[in-house]
């Protein structure tokens, strides 16, 4: 009889340890705070939807905060989660790179691990577990390389800048400029922020078309598809043909950009995958399991010039 009881106890303990290990493997049963920048672009909305769906699939209790592009709101949300005392980890998509040291130190002191996703922070990497993101510099290089080959290295360019101070904008600019610097006839003649927002991209392009000689503009490099689509509207309203009179290359590979490619108004885009939730939740689970993680978990993206090429890869 005693052996039977002992066997039952062992079985119960084994089932508990298996379920605990499983929870640690996928994140199931964890409470995780996700501080999202906002909903400024179609890509950001897709990213949010993908993370929420992944959390639901894994049985993670996700606390979601949309900061409406305000760093103050992001920091307040993180502090509220730390005060709750029952949050196992935090995932942060930082709107800009600076200003995170204090809140990341507070999270570390509270023993709540933080995983950075999408954009980057300039804080000491010891303050967060890892970063899941694309290589923004590479995205800028890809866009520039495509434009060089499309114009034989001779093009005056308008740059529609993303959010100033964000890693996505700063690093895409850096990569783009590195490549065009190799070609004496490739020149950015005007660079202005549209803050990754479609309506702002249109307004900035309208202003540039009224201040610059449109015949002098060979191409637009937009830091995201939403601003590129805004620029298309402005170029059309100016009586020009986008994609022909003025070439357009951007980043994100959102569904609308392939409608524009079908219409010939946008020429190329560099894909930014919205599926970073899975790797981020895996990183949380691995960290809580005591595993060491790399400082950066990269997410790849290719340049596409047609819907067919994109569909062949997805
Ligand atoms: O951080 C990634 C950028 O942020 C995307 O390219 C853009 O659409 C979003 O606003």
Note whether residue 94 is domain-resident: yes
Q: Which residues pair with 131 in a beta bridge?
A: 116, 296
Question: Distance between the two ends of the chain, CA-based, in angstroms?
Answer: 59
Residues 233 and 254 in one domain: yes
Note whether residue 314 is domain-resident: no
What is the pTM assigned to this prediction? Answer: 0.92
Residues 144 and 199 in one domain: yes
Residues 140 and 124 in one domain: no
User: Which residue among 272, 273, 274 is best mutated to probe the pocket of ligand 1, counting the most ligand atoms within 8 A of its Cβ?
Assistant: 272
Confidence tier at 7 by pLDDT (50, 70, 90) = low
Please give the Cα distance from 118 to 103 (Å, whole number): 18
Residue whose CA lies nearest to ligand 1 atom number 5:
224
Residues 53 and 110 in one domain: yes
Note whether residue 70 is domain-resident: yes
- Check whether 8 has a pLDDT greater than 70: no
Residues 244 and 147 in one domain: yes
Query: What pLDDT shows up at residue 174?
Result: 98
Per-residue pLDDT of 239-269, as tens digits, reads 999 999 999 999 999 999 999 999 999 999 9
Residues 147 and 244 in one domain: yes
State whether the beta carbon of 172 lies less than 6 angstroms from ligand 1. no
Q: How far is the CA of 11 from the centre of ligand 1 (A)?
A: 49
Is residue 137 within 8 Å of residue 169, measured between CB atoms?
no
Residues 115 and 129 in one domain: yes
Residues 184 and 78 in one domain: no
- Dihedral sign from CA coordinates of 26, 31, 37, 42: positive
Per-residue pLDDT of 15-29, as tens digits, reads 554 444 444 578 999
Q: Structural domain tally of the chain?
A: 2
State whether the beta carbon of 228 lies less than 6 angstroms from ligand 1. no
Q: How many helices (H) and strands (E) does the chain have?
A: 11, 12
CATH number at residue 233: 3.40.50.2300
Domain of residue 278 covers 21-134+274-293
Residues 288 and 229 in one domain: no
Query: What pLDDT shows up at residue 205?
Result: 98
């Amino acid at each position: 009889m005693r052996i039977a009881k002992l066997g039952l106890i062992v079985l119960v303990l084994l089932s508990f340890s298996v379920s605990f290990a499983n929870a640690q493997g996928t994140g199931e049963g964890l409470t995780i705070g996700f501080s999202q920048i906002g909903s400024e672009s179609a890509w950001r909305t897709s990213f949010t939807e993908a993370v929420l769906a992944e959390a639901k699939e894994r049985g993670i209790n996700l606390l979601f905060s949309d900061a409406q592009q305000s760093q103050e709101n992001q920091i307040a949300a993180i502090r509220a989660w730390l005060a709750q005392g029952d949050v196992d980890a935090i995932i942060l998509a930082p709107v800009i790179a600076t200003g995170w040291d204090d809140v990341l130190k507070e999270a570390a002191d509270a023993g709540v691990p933080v995983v950075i996703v999408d954009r980057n922070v300039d804080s000491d990497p010891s303050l967060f577990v890892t970063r899941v993101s694309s290589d923004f510099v590479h995205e800028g290089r890809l866009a520039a390389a495509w434009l060089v080959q499309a114009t034989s290295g001779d093009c005056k360019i308008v740059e529609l800048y993303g959010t100033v101070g964000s890693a996505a904008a700063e690093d895409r600019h850096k990569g783009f400029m590195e490549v065009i610097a190799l070609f004496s006839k490739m020149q950015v003649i005007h660079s202005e922020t549209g803050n990754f927002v479609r309506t702002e991209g249109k307004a900035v392009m309208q202003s540039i078309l009224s201040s610059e000689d449109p015949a002098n503009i060979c191409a637009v490099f937009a830091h995201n598809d939403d601003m590129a689509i805004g620029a298309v509207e402005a170029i059309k309203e100016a009586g020009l043909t986008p994609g022909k009179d003025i070439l357009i290359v951007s980043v994100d590979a959102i569904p609308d950009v392939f409608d524009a490619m079908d219409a010939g108004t946008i020429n190329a885009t560099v894909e930014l995958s919205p599926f970073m939730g899975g790797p981020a939740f895996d990183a949380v689970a691995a960290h809580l399991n005591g595993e060491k993680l790399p400082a950066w978990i990269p997410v790849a993206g290719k340049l596409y010039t047609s819907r067919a090429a994109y569909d062949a890869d997805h």
